[in-house]
Amino acid sequence: MTPNPRNRALAELGQSIWVDNITRAMLDDGTLERYIDDYSVTGLTSNPTIFDKAISSGEDYTAQIVELAGAGELPEAIFFDLALDDLGRAADLFMPTHERTDGVDGWVSLEVSPLLADDAEATVAQAVELHARAARDNLLIKIPGTEAGLAAIEEATFRGIPVNVTLLFSKAHYLAQADAWMTGIERRIEAGLDPVVGSVASLFISRWDAAVIDEVPDALRARLGIAIGGEVYAAYRELLDSDRAVRIRDAGGRIQKLLMASTGTKDPEASDVLYVEGLAAPDTVNTMPEATLLAFADHGEVPAPLPADGGESGEVLAAYREDGFDLDALGVRLQEEGKQAFADSWDGLIDSISGRLQTV
């Protein structure tokens, strides 16, 4: 089959298309391979909620859960075994892309336990362990870009662990984690280590519009997420051209890519491809839920690329502020809520594994 022309056009614009989902069924029935071949998908992200749904919705994992429990493993250890098996298979499917792009693309992601979010030392230890167990060069370890997570991002990067920095909601969040990541790379350069350590910075988009949907005037409805994305994209482009980035590249390193995350539309009155069309930005990644990936392939349109200065983002954000929205405070709140939501999802995931054992 010829690759879908809409998805192919988005990829040719310079934005990598990743899918924000993984299930064992996707691997067993060839769905993920089809996404790679037919929909220009070049990477994959996962999180505890995704795995919880996969494990609790059928019997694909039951036999392995029982086997691992019989060997004395506790639910958290069982989860990482299941996840590493699935993500290892996915990583192998993306390895040709990873090799063809010299490590720029073709990544999959696994998250450390959200319960470690306030413990940098434990986060780094788990990141190192998981990456070693995966034994895949194209596996990113997801670490939250919270204040407590910054030290873990720097140290994990210094140790050569590829990191997907998650839970970013604002320009301030993006710049803080970029500083931590670049410091880790600079420490590697100073120590004479390889400066190429893959990384993406995941900016959450749709939760912005969901947070204000009941208060926003019609003229501003469903415009906040794209405006935040444009503002951060402008900061990303400026960072790419900074003296600091130039020094890293001169030493043989690369700069972390910006990833547009949470791009499934939550507003029932908005387009189901709103955040794909509005954030078509070169040199970035968009990780899409399956429904969004397929919707764009069916009826999406590839617009002109998002301008390097973010286009009208500044004007839109100013309009929100003039209407009384404290966007700085909202960004802080969204990150805290996201952190708690991830912890709750983790608890639900562990409960699902425990529950599956009880019903067998």
Active-site positions read 142
Instruction: Report how far residue 244's alpha carbon sits from residue 195's, in angstroms, rounded to the nearest whole number.
Output: 13
Q: How many CA atoms lie within 13 A of 116 on its CB side?
A: 17
- Distance in angstroms between the alpha carbons of the first and the last residue of the chain: 42
| H or E element at residue 282 | none
Sequence-distant (6+) residues with CB within 8 A of 221 are: 209, 213, 267, 269, 270
Contacts of 232 (CB under 8 A, 6+ apart): 168, 170, 171, 174, 203, 258
Residue 350 host element (H or E): helix 327-359
Residues paired with residue 259 on neighbouring β-strands, in sequence order: 202, 285
Residues 95, 122 contacting (CB under 8 angstroms): no
Rounded Cα distance, 9 and 3, in Å: 10
What's the distance, CA 264 to chain centroid?
Answer: 13
- Residue 208 and residue 225: Cα distance in Å, rounded? 5
Q: Which two tokens stand for residue 45?
A: 């992200």
What distance in Å separates the CA atoms of residue 132 and residue 113, rounded to the nearest whole number? 16
Look-up of token digits 């972390």: 256
DSSP state of 166: E
Whose CA is closest to 20, among 294, 328, 318? 294
Helix axes 75-100, 62-70, angle to 10 degrees: 120
